[in-house]
Amino acid sequence: MTTAPDTNMTPHSSWAFRQAERVVDLVERRVTGSSWFRRGRRTAVPNHWSFWLGYLALFSLVIVVLSGVFLTVWFEPSMAPVIYDGAYAPLRGVVVSEAYASTLDLSFEVRGGLLMRQVHYWATHVFIAAMAVHLLRVLFTGAFRTPRKLNWVVGVGLLVLGIAGAYAGHALPDDLLSGTGLRVVEGGVLAIPIVGTYLSSFIFGGAYPGDDIVTRLYVLHVFLIPALLVTLLALHVVLVRRHGRTQWRGAGKTNRNVVGSPRTVHTGRAAGLMLIVFGAVVTMAATLQINPVWLYGPYDPSQVGAGSRPDWYMAFLDGALRLMPPWEIDVLGHHLTLSLLIPVVVLPGLLVAAMALYPWVEEKIVGGRGDQHLLDRPRDMPARTGLGAAFVAFYVVLWIAGGNDVLATTFHVPVNWMTRLLQVSVVVVPPLAYTITKRICLGLQRRDRDKLLHGRETGINVVDIGGGFAELRVPLNRYDAYELTSRERRVPFVRDPEVDENGIPAPRLRSTRLRARLSNFYFGDRLDDDDR
Amino acid sequence: MLAVATLLVLAAVVFYFGFTGDAPERDVDLGDLRNSNLALGLALGVGLLVAGIGVVQWSRLLMIDTRVVELRTPSDAGRSTRRRFGGGTGDGLGRRRLLRNALFGALVLLPLPAVVALRGLEAGAPARREHTAWDEGVRLLTDGGYRPIRVSDIQAGEMVSVMPASFLDLPEAGPARPNERARSPVVLVRIPPAELSPARGRENWQVDGIVAYSKICTHVGCPVSLYERTTHHLLCPCHQATFDLADNGAVVFGPATRPLPQLPLRVDDDGYLVAQSDFTEPVGPSYWERDA
């Protein structure tokens, strides 16, 4: 079927290409025993801007790793107190930890060190943000459905590991801001019932803050989390290769084929994007200051900076801590501090579980129908898009709450009002987001149908013989019309009547009733074919 | 494009050597550092950007982009394959139930020694949560200068951060001092006695309107440090828990579940402020086995 030029047949004149071919030959004969590489060059890769978000995350992770290796050469993961005697005059003579002193040294005295540190931070932010947006893309287009359910879970794992790794790294310089963040973690761990105090002692090696935590976080940050991250990443990529790419619906595209550019062209684009991502991150690091730990000062558990707040990817948890009412209940003479337990332990656990399990929940409700390689347009699945929007809205309200003091200062309102407003919002906004999004989706569907039935608006007004005005409309061409009509029409599952004509109750009444309700939730609101 | 990229990357190498002199300077000049950072980063960053744009242009203009169609293989091998390779594998797992369960039992317990070995994580002394360094007769020292405090040193409306005098006896190396700073800091404020409303039993915990509270927030343990003198409210900058220092440290707003512990004060024979005793309850965030 391919019409790509057959590069295998044309011997390259250049020496480098010939040598590369020899390496490929060697691998294919002695390692894989197949022509996987040569075949791989001929595979089809669909192209769409949203398919590049995962690449963005991948490439920023590459810079995170490269700059991180550079930093490990100079960073000392030790909390032993030293008297700072480096190049930064304002802190000279102050007792700081070795970790803090070495961070200042690698910023101020190692050439290019500050740049590398800022590259490491900025690339981390891009990495986590790209993963989050990639996850939303996969959610809203339904790319998580069979056979990619497992890969979705791997992706959620990558996001969690990325955030955990970034948090562990953020705490390493032992500065006032990140130390305050660790104190919040200690408080959260203490709230865990029964084992909380023991866990805290194990994590910090005795009393808080102790002199172990930076060394331990360092092990997590440079060894354990990267090892897991790279393993999961490899699995993620292998599964993408195994399942093939998803594609948008369109003429010539079916559930059984992949239509796209040849891989050679795709690789060219990817290489270009990689360099652009590298360049953008380095430019950001050159021009935008990030995490100036020398301004925060060394960590002192008895001090805190006003406006202390975590990095944006942790801000939703801090926001939840700020919004939680002061609830504490007594269980058999013991204390269960719900005001900490819910935001620090229960909430993140539930969020991750909900994300990870969503593909199975949706499949249960919608019904499994084998491999799904064609993407849904978000408007064609209003309930799913609405749920996603509600999830995003919930997250964003918590995220805003993580900076409620800064917002209150910015807008000159009492911080207490801000907190109350956000407490209401966190309950009210997600259902509102669900409803509004679903309505917008249905409206867009209606517009598509209008386009199909009456043609595209041209902006040309025509006066008819009776003096009336009408807009001239041009019918869609066949390809556009196909794209708009090529979607599944789903109707809610209707269960059998509770009692059949002989008075015998239907089997599995309860479970079918639940399924009918959920199915109605997903597909109940839709454009009927006769609703014109 | 690619030529410009080459030049810019070379420029980055030049800037690496060009800026901060030959030896690392004793006093870092932040302006110099910023320029060096900017020059190095911009040359490298823009160089990479331009190279990337060049490569994308290459793939757009020089590579032949055609529409390739490829057939998929189903992810499910199919029922017949599953039947052919599934079941009856001859591993005997289905037949010797007792042996099988013994095997599973051994495997389940295998990670146990590794988990037990994690006990060594608590290398230092276990955390003392019920007691701090405060005790009968321990002097209050200003934090930073470590000077003892007389009643006349504290102005009305003033807030002072305080550490126990016993803090200075702790070794400078090791975690003892940071640990104490995480547990024992106290805020001292002076409120006109008429505005104080001490709870029963706390009437003599103040000296001429000077009251002392734990600085460790009862929410998650941040140092509570924003004092508003007109309302006597103390606000935690982390999560905005707010305590009323004129009303026994009661929570007036925010997520904290219990009042700030109060430190009973008196004046010693030399006229300096000292503690009457340790705190009467654990400081800091709540936990499962906390008393009362």
Q: Name every chain B residue with its beta carbon within 8 A of the beta carbon of A108.
A: 28, 33
Q: Which of A67, A463, A462 is nearest to A285 (CA)?
A: A67
Place of tokens 């454009």: A527
Q: What is the pLDDT of residue B124?
A: 63
Between A1, A273, A336, which is nearest B69 by CB?
A1
Q: Which of chain A's residues have a Cβ under 8 Å away from the Cβ of B181?
A: 300-302
Q: Check residues B163 and B43 and name the one with the higher pLDDT.
A: B163
Residues of A with Cβ-Cβ distance to B167 under 8 angstroms: none
Q: End-to-end CA distance of chain A, in Å?
A: 42
The reply to whether the predicted model has a pTM over 0.80 is yes
Residue A3 confidence (pLDDT): 43
Nearest to B215 among A2, A278, A302 (CB): A302
Mark yes or no for CB contact B72/A371 under 8 Å. Answer: yes
Higher pLDDT, A154 or B121: A154
Examine the pLDDT at A1 and tell me if it is beyond 50: no
Query: Residues B143, B266: contact at Cβ < 8 Å?
Result: no
Residue-level pLDDT at B25: 47
Q: How confident is the model at residue B125 (pLDDT cuts 50, 70, 90)?
A: low
Mean pLDDT across the stretch A353-366?
Answer: 92
Tokens of A68: 């991180």
Residue A4 has pLDDT above 60, yes or no: no
Q: Return the residue in A47, A126, A245, A337 with the most chain B beta carbons within 10 A, the one to mutate for interface testing.
A: A337
CB contact under 8 A, B240 and A337: no
Three-state SS string over A396-427 comes to: HHHHHHCCHHHHHHHHCCCHHHHHHHHHHHHH
ω into A147 cis (within 30 of 0): yes
A247 pLDDT band, cuts 50/70/90, is very high
Q: Cα–Cα distances in Å, from A293 out to A186, A297, A333?
A: 21, 6, 43
Helix axes A347-366, A315-323, angle to 10 degrees: 110
3-state secondary structure A424-453: HHHHHHHHHHHHHHHHHHHHHHHHHHHHHH
Set of chain A residues whose Cβ sits within 8 Å of the Cβ of B53: 272, 276
Query: Scanning every residue of chain B, which has its alpha carbon at the shortest distance from the alpha carbon of A267?
Result: B59
Q: What integer pLDDT is reported at residue A189 of this predicted model?
A: 93
Nearest to A324 among B40, B55, B255 (CB): B255
Q: Is A112 left (phi over 0), alpha (psi -120 to 50) or beta?
A: left
Q: Can you tell me the ipTM of this complex? A: 0.88
CB-facing half-sphere around the CA of A368: CA atoms within 13 A: 10
Distance in angstroms between the alpha carbons of the first and the last residue of chain B: 72
Q: Which residue has the higher pLDDT, A164 or A4?
A: A164
Instruction: Output b/e per residue, A288-320; b: 16+ Cβ within 10 A.
Output: eeebebbebbbbbbbbbbeebbbbebbbbbbbb
pLDDT above 80: residue B277 = yes
Query: Higher pLDDT residue, B275 or B64?
Result: B275
pLDDT, tens digit, for every residue of B141-157? Answer: 998 889 999 999 998 88
Q: Are B33 and A117 in contact (CB under 8 A)?
A: no
Task: Considering only residues A53 and A515, tell me which one the structure prediction assigns the higher pLDDT.
Answer: A53
CA B16 to chain centre: 36
Length of chain A: 532
pLDDT tens digits, A151-208: 999 999 999 999 999 999 999 999 999 999 999 999 999 999 988 888 998 999 888 8
pLDDT-based confidence at residue A493 (cuts at 50, 70, 90): confident
B220–A321 CB contact, under 8 Å:
yes
- Work out the minimum CA distance from A216 to partner chain B, whole angstroms: 10
Look at A302 and B181 and tell me if their CB atoms are within 8 Å. yes
Helix (H, G, I), strand (E, B) or coil at A48: coil
B125 with A276: Cβ contact below 8 A: no
Rounded CA-CA distance B81/A118 in Å is 54
Cβ contact, residue pair B28, A405, below 8 Å: no
- Check whether A347 has a pLDDT greater than 90: yes
Q: Quick one: pLDDT at residue B23?
A: 44
Q: Which residue has the higher pLDDT, A179 or B5?
A: A179
Under DSSP, the state recorded for B136 is T
Chain B positions touching A294 (Cβ under 8 A) are none
Mean pLDDT of chain A: 89
pLDDT at A438 over 50: yes
Q: What is the pLDDT of residue B62?
A: 81
User: What is the C-alpha separation between A114 and A459, in angstroms, rounded?
Assistant: 56
* Cβ(A198)–Cβ(B288) below 8 Å: no
Among A47, A63, A115, A216, which would you mutate to test the B interface (most chain B Cβ atoms within 10 Å of its Cβ)?
A115
Residue B22 confidence (pLDDT) = 42
Distance of CA A413 to CAs A265, A406, A407, A426, B262, Å?
55, 10, 8, 19, 31
Which pairs count as long-range contacts for A516-520, CB under 8 Å and 24+ apart, including other chains?
Answer: A516/A492, A518/A365, A519/A365, A519/A366, A519/A492, A519/A493, A520/A492, A520/A493
Q: Check A205 against B121: CB less than 8 A apart.
A: yes
Range ranked top by mean pLDDT from A128-142, A407-421, B183-197 = A128-142
Question: How far is A323 from A421, CA to CA, in rounded Å?
Answer: 10
Rounded-to-10 torsion of CA A128, A130, A131, A137: 150
Are the Cβ atoms of A272 and B53 closer than 8 angstroms? yes
Report the range of poorest mean pLDDT among A83-92, A301-310, B70-79: B70-79
pLDDT tens digits for range A190-206: 999 988 888 998 999 88
Give dist(CA A356, CA B21) in Å, integer: 54
The pLDDT, as a whole number, for residue A9 is 44
How many CA atoms does the CB half-sphere of A369 hold within 13 Å? 10
**Greater pLDDT, A137 or A211:** A137
Contact A502, A508 (CB under 8 A): no
Of A312, A317, A404, A392, the closest CA to residue A355 belongs to A392
* Residue B267 vs residue A493, higher pLDDT: B267
**pLDDT of A395 strictly over 80:** yes
Cβ-Cβ contacts under 8 Å, A246 against chain B: none
Give contacts of A184 with chain B, Cβ < 8 Å.
Answer: 220-222, 238
Q: In terms of CA atoms, which chain B residue is nearest residue A324?
A: B255
Residue B182 near residue A209, CB atoms below 8 Å:
yes
Is there a contact between B52 and A279 if contact means CB atoms under 8 Å apart? yes
Higher pLDDT, A271 or B125: A271
Whether pLDDT at A112 is above 90: no
Q: 3-state DSSP helix/strand/coil percent for chain B, to nearest 5?
A: 35, 15, 50
For residue A185, the chain B residue with the least C-alpha distance is B220
CB burial of residue A503 (10 Å; 0-12, 13-18, 19+): exposed
Instruction: Report pLDDT for A479.
Output: 86
Residues of chain A with Cβ-Cβ distance to B76 below 8 Å are 147, 370-371
pLDDT band at residue B55 using 50, 70 and 90 as cut-offs: confident
Q: Which helix (H) or strand (E) holds A183?
A: helix A176-190
For B255, the closest of A197, A339, A405 (CB atoms) is: A339
Copy the structure tokens of residue B69: 């169609």
Provide the token pair at B156: 């009305």
* Among the listed residues A175, A159, A78, the one whose alpha carbon sits nearest the alpha carbon of residue A117: A175
pLDDT in tens, A209-238: 888 999 999 999 999 999 999 999 999 999
Alpha-carbon torsion (A409, A412, A417, A423), positive or negative: negative
